Structure 1
Amino acid sequence: MEQYSGYSEIEDILASTAGNPVLWGKFFERLTELAECDSGYILVTDLMHREKTHFLFSHNISQQQQDLYVSKFNTLDIFNYLLSQSPRQVFCSQLAHYTAISEDIDVDDSGFQYRCGFAIPCNSHHSLNLCVNRRGAFSEQDLQYICELLLAIVTPLEDAIRADLQQKIYSQILPYTHNHIDSYVIIDQALNILFSDSTCIAIIDKFHCISISGQHIMFNNHDVQQHLTLLMSNNESASVHNVCDTCMITLVPVTSLDNLYDWECFKEGFILVFTHDTQKNPMIERLINIHKLSRCEALCALDFMQTSSIVDIATNNCRSENTVRNHIKRVMHKMGVHNQAALMKKLISLAAL
């Protein structure tokens, strides 16, 4: 087997998968190759209704095999639900003394006879379960290597899935905020935070109009909080201007967004979007002062945080696509990065200052 040098290659692929199905295929191809396995997959596992468990991504598994699993085996797959009960831990069906589905069913043709995998929780009803599969048993040396390999990709995979979801959300809430977003969180009607990340929280925490305590968000202006609560009870979208000296808050019901599945998001939730006046955004000044970007380059970099689409950035800035490409290349050079994934990470870190 190839040794640990393969880890960084897998992580690099995952860092660029957001919005790119082709790279997800490349990720699985390389992962199964490194693990010397026959196939691999990610299952969307429904913890409440097992019959709804289905494939999200797969490698070297025929459509016939997938259909058979979804129509018959998903409700019987004990090992898959073992993974869901202990998220982010690696298990092997061989060590757990589980057959692929159950002892009285012959599933050799499915390719799931021996599996190693782990689960990433999505919400209280769903998890994403990754497995690599072999028809032959694992040796002790194989198991040690594969377990180390899978443990090494748990966090990068979770980050990639989150980035993919964030890109979907960003692209759909941009029209609500005139193509400018600083940060957002998803909350319920009791103002509990359902979805966020540390960078978003750090940015929001700079605003003067709100306070964040644990997983709860509070508005310093009681009237604003009451207004937003009323809007949520009516499932309405709206913008609240001049909440403080620095921001505007836009409320967007998750149910108003397209192309989000139940396992991806909290359908009962609401997105709180926080934006600065684009001309007064301190991020622009940081890019200009710290990295010596021109104002046009800074504006393109700011838009790049919301969408990697050259066409969208060109439209937002009234520039040609070639001009935007050149701006992004110069931004990468001035910020000392060599790929778009690294640029995104550096821009997000800068935004959190």
Structure 2
Amino acid sequence: MESYYQTILNLIAQSPNSDSLFQSFLRLLTESTGCDSAVFLITDLNNLGDSHSDYIYNVPVEHQNIYESYYDQIDKTNETISTCRQDLVFVQDLPEALTSREVENDFMAPNGYKGRAAFAFPRSNNYVTNLYLCRDGDFSENDRKRLARSTHSIRLAVQEILNNERRKNFARSLLNATGSLGGLLGYVIVDDKMNVVDMDSDLVFLFVKKQIKIENQKVHIYEPGLANILDMSARFGAMMTYPATDSDFTYDIAMAPTSLLRGLLPWEIPPKGVVIAVYDRHRCVIHLKKLMDCYGLTRTEAETTLHFSQKPHNKLLASELSKAPETVRTHVKRAMHKMGAHSQSELVRLVLSITMP
């Protein structure tokens, strides 16, 4: 199944919103599991009733309508499933008390067949997903075990999708809570004992390692000024910022009580917790560090090269950077040599390979 995991990642990279590309993945998945049709549903639990992205393969239109008419009931089940801690839940194995009677007894499989392997992938965020694999005939115990094993790669792919969605929505909530500083690099949420509850992009904390260290799932604050800011933020329930500087760059560390975050599920928000976020207002720190670390560029060469990739014209760039055109040309040539690029277009491609998300 690993090849199918890679397939879906490739499809996402090409066009995240293309039904036809996603259906290609579902077709491969359906064939590999000996089924006839598949439905993949993503539900945002914060916006029930108007929050569905579904991808359908080989399901007749009349049965698609039946399926979509049961969104509300499926949402109720999804909301319950989302509280489970397992990586994978086989919906048909859930206790009857956890599922709505409509879904258990009245809901027709999307293609009209009785055999329905229904999986839910709960995640610790606002999204839950269902994958329905259907065929004409029941699934034996061995079939169920095989399907459960095969979902490992699917789960990884689903996690990739949800992480992308989650980062987007969480960033919006975080920016609202921390004053919309812009240029979010990463965050960590801690409880009142400084235990890590959730974290995005632990790489970013390499940039502020003089101030913050994460070890054994605990956050340690080394700078007294930052510790005071953290204490005041938690005590007064307010957002506060602190400038963090290393040898080359300056960052903003924002702290806010988790009570200021909106639109998240209960287990994501410890009641007396704090969210610590790192921002780069100029939005280029990570890219500069990558160019410097990967290719040995100086900071000036990295800055010039980064700007050149966005505006590959020496004279215009020289004016924008307040440098002589010859200076810009020299920095670009040095960067080409260090990066092994034989042309300016190749240099731009190399830079874009680093800076593109």
Residue segments in structure 1 that go unaligned for 5+ positions in a row: 47-51, 303-316, 319-328, 345-353
CA change 1:276–1:11 in 2 (3 A) is closer
Larger Rg: 2
Question: How far apart, in 2, do the equivalents of 1:192 and 1:96 lie?
Answer: 32
CA contact (8 A) 2:43 2:128 kept: yes
Corresponding residue number in structure 2 for 1:165: 166
2:119 equivalent among 117, 120, 139 = 117
- 1:185 and 2:188 matched: yes
Question: How far apart, in 2, do the equivalents of 1:86 and 1:203 lie?
Answer: 27
**Matches of residues 240-255 of structure 1 in structure 2 within 5 Å?**
240-241=242-243, 247-252=251-256
Q: In structure 1, what residue type is equivalent to 2:231? A: T
Question: How far apart, in 1, do the equivalents of 2:52 and 2:282 lie?
Answer: 38
Count residues in correspondence. 297
- 1:150 and 2:151 matched: yes
- 1:33 and 2:37 matched: no
Corresponding residue number in structure 2 for 1:195: 198
Q: In structure 2, what residue type is equivalent to 1:213? A: E
CA change 1:278–1:236 in 2 (3 A) is same
1:273 equivalent among 264, 273, 277 = 277
- 1:161 Cα offset (Å): 1.1
Corresponding residue number in structure 2 for 1:295: 303
Corresponding residue number in structure 2 for 1:312: none
TM-score (norm 1): 0.60
Question: How far apart, in 2, do the equivalents of 1:83 and 1:241 lie?
Answer: 38
- 1:12 and 2:16 matched: no
CA change 1:67–1:253 in 2 (3 A) is farther
CA contact (8 A) 1:28 1:41 kept: no
Question: How far apart, in 2, do the equivalents of 1:255 and 1:16 lie?
Answer: 38
Question: How far apart, in 2, do the equivalents of 1:116 and 1:299 lie?
Answer: 49
Question: How far apart, in 1, do the equivalents of 2:283 and 2:134 lie?
Answer: 56
* Other structure's SS at 1:105 match: helix
1:226 equivalent among 228, 240, 251 = 228
- 1:128 Cα offset (Å): 1.8
CA change 1:209–1:16 in 2 (3 A) is farther
Residue segments in structure 2 that go unaligned for 5+ positions in a row: 31-35, 57-62, 311-319, 322-344
CA change 1:145–1:4 in 2 (3 A) is farther
**Matches of residues 49-198 of structure 1 in structure 2 within 5 Å?**
56-60=52-56, 65-70=67-72, 72=73, 85=84, 87-89=86-88, 91=90, 93=92, 105-108=105-108, 113=114, 114-122=116-124, 128-134=128-134, 136-138=136-138, 146-170=147-171, 173=175, 176=179, 179-197=182-200
Question: How far apart, in 2, do the equivalents of 1:286 and 1:6 lie?
Answer: 30
Question: How far apart, in 2, do the equivalents of 1:299 and 1:167 lie?
Answer: 25
CA change 1:261–1:247 in 2 (3 A) is closer
- 1:4 Cα offset (Å): 7.0
- 1:82 Cα offset (Å): 7.0
TM-score (norm 2): 0.60
Q: In structure 1, what residue type is equivalent to 2:42? A: I
The one-character-per-residue Cα deviations of 1:54-93 (angstroms, maximum 9, x if unpaired) are: 96432357577445452x5665x5x996796462236373
- 1:180 Cα offset (Å): 3.5
* Other structure's SS at 1:108 match: coil
Question: How far apart, in 1, do the equivalents of 2:284 and 2:217 lie?
Answer: 29
Q: In structure 1, what residue type is equivalent to 2:255? A: L
Q: In structure 2, what residue type is equivalent to 1:89? A: L
- 1:236 Cα offset (Å): 1.7
The one-character-per-residue Cα deviations of 1:81-125 (angstroms, maximum 9, x if unpaired) are: 6796462236373x8898x965983322766951231423316xx
RCO (CA 8 Å, sep 6+): is it higher in 1 or 2?
Answer: 1
Superposition RMSD in Å: 5.0
Q: In structure 2, what residue type is equivalent to 1:215? A: Q
CA contact (8 A) 1:193 1:216 kept: yes
- 1:204 Cα offset (Å): 0.9
CA contact (8 A) 1:101 1:107 kept: no
Question: How far apart, in 2, do the equivalents of 1:59 and 1:122 lie?
Answer: 22
